């Protein structure tokens, strides 16, 4: 138990009470924590469904190792070292086809920000890796050192909504090779005045992290698989932390196989924000599944979990009046 309590120092769960209330947990349920981390939500969920089961997905191998080594010998938690985009494979591995509840907490733990040394924070100089799983994909510095100026500009604009993306991309190409967070931070600092630098770097880091980890495509697939495996009457809850995530989750309201349980997103109270400033951008949405889902058709639908606004259709040109 002491080991489990020690894990709390790595992550403070956001909107914990509100999430547990929306999920309507009770004994014997089978639940999925799609982003287990250090179990800020997961341990509380597992406690409420016992003797039911909680299946936790954790992509980061270092986080997974720490948590698994801290679990008691007898537990109702089944932890898997894989991302939620592999939910099909993970549930098959534990012998399940359907579940009662699914939670996605899309925030980054304090451990990822401060303890991995992979460059998730611009406040320290360390290798600019940004991968949740260092065994998959390429590090961010490799992308920045080989991509064209146009490719870098598009990533910064699309995923960070960065207005000076073209100028930053130009400076990155001129300053190669980029290796560390300090290299990239210095570029942003040259472009922005001091009072604007922190928010600018946050946007740049967000954009690169989303791109390197393919976060939006993985979220899209993860949501589709969650809806596939949820029983009718089951509940899906998602805590997002930036507008792209929230807009992706919000698209679920357009589909007939779910019913929104939150008319507007639930946000942290002023008291929670004071205790945990990182919670200030959190938004919680929840849906109840009301009918079965055809996942291949859903993933073929470009509207599903697409956070980018669709271009407006141009109307027919007006006819000129004669006379």
User: 133-212 is classed in which CATH architecture?
Assistant: Orthogonal Bundle (1.10)
Distances (CA, A) of 231 to 100, 225, 235, 308: 6, 12, 8, 29
Label residue 27 exposed, middle or buried (CB < 10 Å: 0-12, 13-18, 19+).
exposed
Q: Residue 191 and residue 167: Cα distance in Å, rounded?
A: 8
pLDDT of residue 322: 40
Residue pair 62/37 in contact by the 8 Å Cβ criterion: no
Looking only at the bridges linking them, the beta strands covering 99-105 and 230-240 are: parallel
Alpha helix ranges (H) inside the chain = 2-7, 16-23, 42-49, 61-70, 87-93, 110-114, 140-146, 149-160, 165-175, 181-191, 194-212, 215-229, 243-250, 270-275, 295-300
pLDDT of residue 111: 74
Residue pair 263/206 in contact by the 8 Å Cβ criterion: no
Residue pair 11/38 in contact by the 8 Å Cβ criterion: yes
Q: Residue 302 and residue 214: Cα distance in Å, rounded?
A: 17
**What DSSP string describes 124-176?**
S--B----SSTTSS--HHHHHHHS-HHHHHHHHHHHH--TTHHHHHHHHHHHP
User: Residue 121 gets which letter from DSSP?
Assistant: -
**Look-up of token digits 């470009």:** 302
- Per-residue pLDDT for the chain (323 aa), expressed as one digit of tens each? 445 545 555 568 999 999 999 999 999 999 999 999 999 999 999 999 999 999 999 999 999 999 999 999 899 999 999 999 999 999 999 999 999 999 999 988 777 777 678 999 999 999 999 999 999 999 999 999 999 999 999 999 999 999 999 999 999 999 999 999 999 999 999 999 999 999 999 999 999 999 999 999 999 999 999 999 999 999 999 999 999 999 999 999 999 999 999 999 999 999 999 999 989 999 999 999 999 999 999 999 999 999 997 655 555 444 444 43
Class of domain 2-110+215-300: alpha beta
Scored b (16 or more CB within 10 A) or e, 225-240 reads: bbbbbbeeebbbbbbb
pLDDT of residue 10: 58
- Compute and round to an integer the Cα radius of gyration of the chain: 21
Domain ranges in the chain are 2-110+215-300, 133-212
In CATH terms, are 2-110+215-300 and 133-212 the same topology?
no
pLDDT of residue 271: 96
Q: Residue 88 and residue 225: Cα distance in Å, rounded?
A: 7
pLDDT of residue 1: 41
Nearest by Cα to 149 from 175, 117, 181, 123? 175
Would you tell me the crossing angle of helices 16-23 and 42-49 to the nearest 10 degrees? Answer: 40
């Amino acid at each position: 138990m002491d080991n489990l309590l020690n894990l709390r120092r790595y992550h403070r769960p956001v909107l914990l009470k509100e999430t547990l209330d929306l999920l309507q947990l009770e004994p014997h349920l089978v639940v999925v924590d799609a982003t287990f981390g250090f179990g800020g939500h997961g341990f509380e969920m597992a406690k409420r469904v016992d003797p039911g089961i909680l299946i936790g997905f954790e992509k980061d191998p270092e986080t997974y190792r720490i948590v698994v080594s801290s679990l008691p010998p007898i537990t109702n938690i089944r932890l898997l070292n894989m991302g939620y985009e592999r939910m099909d494979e993970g549930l098959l591995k534990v012998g399940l086809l359907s579940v009662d509840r699914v939670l996605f907490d899309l925030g980054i733990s304090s451990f990822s920000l401060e303890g991995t040394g992979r460059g998730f924070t611009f406040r320290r100089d360390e290798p600019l890796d940004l991968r949740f799983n260092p065994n998959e994909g390429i590090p961010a510095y490799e992308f920045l050192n080989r991509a064209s100026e146009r490719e870098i500009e598009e990533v910064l604009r699309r995923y960070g909504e960065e207005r000076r993306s073209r100028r930053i991309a130009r400076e990155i190409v001129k300053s190669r090779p980029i290796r560390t967070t300090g290299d990239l931070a210095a570029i942003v600092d040259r472009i922005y005045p001091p009072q604007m630098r922190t928010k600018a770097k946050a946007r740049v880091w967000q954009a690169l992290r989303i791109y390197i980890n393919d976060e939006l495509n993985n979220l899209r697939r993860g949501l589709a698989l969650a809806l596939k495996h949820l029983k009718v009457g089951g509940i899906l809850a998602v805590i997002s932390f930036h507008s792209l995530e929230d807009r992706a989750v919000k698209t679920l309201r357009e589909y007939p196989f779910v019913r929104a349980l939150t008319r507007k997103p639930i946000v942290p109270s002023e008291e929670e924000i004071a205790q945990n400033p990182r919670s200030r951008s959190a938004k919680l949405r929840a849906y109840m599944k009301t009918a079965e889902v055809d996942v291949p058709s859903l993933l073929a639908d470009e509207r599903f979990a697409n956070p980018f606004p669709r271009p407006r259709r141009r109307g027919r040109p007006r006819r000129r009046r004669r006379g």
